[in-house]
Amino acid sequence: MLARRAARELTLILFSQLEGNINKYKEDDFNKIIINSVRTLTNNASDELKLHSSSIVEMIEYIDEYEANHPKNLARPIDSNDIPVPIPLTSDMSGRLTAIADVCEKAFSALEIAEMSVLEENSDTKEYIKKIVAGYVKNHQEIDDLIKKLSVGWDFNRLVKTDKDILRISITELIFVKEAPVKVIIDEAVELAKRYSTEDSASFINAILAKVVKEKELD
């Protein structure tokens, strides 16, 4: 399960690096792009950790200052150590803690994916990426035509590229790879949309994939 989840995330990053006619790419090209995708994922996680680390320092300083200036500690002798005091959890601090927790989760995920896909030459992650890529390369016209057909009221060429790529990956899995449960594929696609695309993308992708399931009479 974790290998497939990692494969989907790396395939999404891989797709973002493809340019022009997809048929021009060979297997060696995809192997190189997989490595670049891992680097992109880990670099992004590292950058986010660096960005949010300042918030951790600010919160530590705030807590230390709040504790030192609390009436209970101000009333204690100057040479005595401060005692712990309750800290009010403001929405600002709560928001920062949530952001840091999200970044940490992404960082841990990136490290796990990097280890599975790069250190293990024949990992399940790499193999599943290859299946998705091969399935899309072989059937990309049919998959894109299906997205166009089911995206009623939307101009295919104006869809957010990340949304299109998530749909391409998921539809490839649903129709051509067929190794994961339908519900899992859709749930993972929605999660990818929440992490990498716009605010409205998750509901849009969920709706399109529901139509795919109905259209192709998938279990």
The tens digit of pLDDT for each residue in 15-24 reads: 887 777 676 7
Average pLDDT, the chain: 82
Q: Is pLDDT of 199 > 70? A: yes
pLDDT of 213:
96
pLDDT of 113:
61
Query: pLDDT band at residue 114, thresholds of 50, 70 and 90?
Result: low
Q: Return the SS3 of 208.
A: helix
pLDDT in tens, 36-62: 777 777 777 677 777 767 777 777 787
Rounded distance between C-alpha atoms, residue 137 and residue 133, angstroms? 6
pLDDT of 111:
63
Q: Is pLDDT of 91 > 80? A: no
- By residue range, what is the domain housing residue 91? 2-215
Q: Is pLDDT of 119 > 50? A: no
| Most distant CA pair in the chain, distance | 77
Rounded distance between C-alpha atoms, residue 152 and residue 164, angstroms? 14
Q: Is pLDDT of 115 > 60? A: no
Domain at 111, CATH number: 1.10.940.10
Task: From residue 32, give the alpha-carbon distance in Å to each of 23, 37, 39, 82, 185.
Answer: 16, 9, 11, 56, 26
Residues 172/185, Cβ–Cβ less than 8 Å: no
**Averaged pLDDT for residues 93-101:** 74
Rounded distance between C-alpha atoms, residue 169 and residue 166, angstroms? 5
The pTM of the full predicted model, rounded to 2 decimals, is: 0.67
Q: How many domains does the chain have?
A: 1
